[in-house]
């Protein structure tokens, strides 16, 4: 798919990446041995660790849903993840991101099978340089698959941004702080492999036409993320079967 992005030729990103280029990505599953499933997803200097526990009986009992299981997500940026120490514990931002992570992942899970049960997903951001909610969703989706929880498909997430008038993929913190012209717009998007969007947010301003272009860029970028998630899961299976690392 070709995206028309008229300003692209003139625009130089601070780290020299092409407008549709993701940061270097690393992904691995099985990073938390005590968890039922776990994964690490690293995009540039942003690193997310996800650990899945369950499905297990929901406690406290009054929170049990006899019709379907519950997905519980807990996103947390740990104190040393940025240069200014973050105050530990929940805040409005972390509660919002926990909720949108749940929205992003729920559509691929077969929660009807898990009446009265809960699947707990803990996401810790150990290093933050923007795009942490997307990295957390990517790690969480891999950790759910690693836990052996039946999923209709993988979920992949990436942030598309508009810096002044130019669309770019996978913003760094430096880019999120860009303040020339129309300034920065940040659009985190999560998609099922089929292309269906499960989560999208918009922080900034963008016209309808350019938003459609941003979604198309996001689709292509999520497809690249998907290939990396798939490889990490396949590598883990190969290792368990005594194959190559």
For ligand CDP, the binding residues (CB under 6 A) are 82, 86, 93, 128-133, 173, 176, 186, 188
CA distances from 81 to 42, 73, 95 (A): 13, 19, 17
CB nearer to ligand CDP: give 74 or 235.
Answer: 74
CB nearer to ligand CDP: give 134 or 142.
Answer: 134
Q: Which residues neighbour 237 within 8 Å (Cβ) at sequence distance 6 or greater?
A: none
CB nearer to ligand CDP: give 32 or 158.
Answer: 158
CB of 199 to ligand CDP, least distance (A): 11
Q: Select the residue whose beta carbon is closest to ligand CDP and give its number.
A: 132
* Nearest CA among 48, 53, 1 for reference residue 27: 48
Would you tell me how many other CB atoms lie within 10 Å of the CB of residue 176? 18
CB of 63 to ligand CDP, least distance (A): 28
In whole angstroms, give the CA distance from residue 64 to residue 223: 36
Q: Which two tokens stand for residue 182?
A: 């129309």
CB of 200 to ligand CDP, least distance (A): 13
CB of 36 to ligand CDP, least distance (A): 26
Q: Which two tokens stand for residue 154?
A: 């993988």
The CB-side HSE value for 162 (13 A sphere, CA atoms) comes to 24
CB nearer to ligand CDP: give 176 or 213.
Answer: 176
């Amino acid at each position: 798919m070709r995206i028309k992005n008229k300003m692209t030729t003139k625009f130089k990103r601070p780290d020299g990446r092409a407008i549709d280029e993701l940061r270097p990505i690393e992904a691995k599953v099985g990073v938390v041995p005590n968890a039922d499933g776990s994964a690490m997803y690293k995009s540039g200097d942003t690193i997310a660790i996800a650990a899945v526990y369950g499905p297990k009986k929901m406690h406290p009992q009054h929170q049990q849903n006899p019709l379907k299981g519950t997905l519980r997500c807990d996103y947390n940026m740990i104190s040393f993840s940025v240069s200014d120490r973050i105050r530990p514990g929940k805040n409005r931002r972390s509660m919002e991101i926990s909720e949108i992570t749940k929205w992003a992942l729920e559509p691929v899970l077969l929660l009807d099978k898990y009446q009265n049960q809960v699947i707990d997903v803990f996401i810790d951001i150990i290093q933050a340089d923007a795009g942490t909610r997307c990295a957390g969703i990517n790690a969480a989706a891999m950790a759910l698959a690693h836990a052996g929880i039946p999923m209709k498909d993988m979920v992949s997430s990436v942030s598309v941004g508009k810096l002044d008038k130019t669309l770019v993929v996978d913003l760094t913190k430096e880019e999120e702080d860009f303040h020339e012209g129309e300034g920065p717009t940040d659009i985190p998007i999560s998609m099922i492999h089929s292309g269906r969007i499960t989560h999208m947010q918009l922080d900034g301003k963008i016209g309808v036409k350019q938003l459609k272009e941003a979604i198309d860029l996001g689709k292509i970028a999520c497809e690249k993320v998907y290939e990396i998630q798939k490889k990490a899961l396949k590598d883990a299976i190969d290792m368990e079967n005594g194959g190559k690392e």
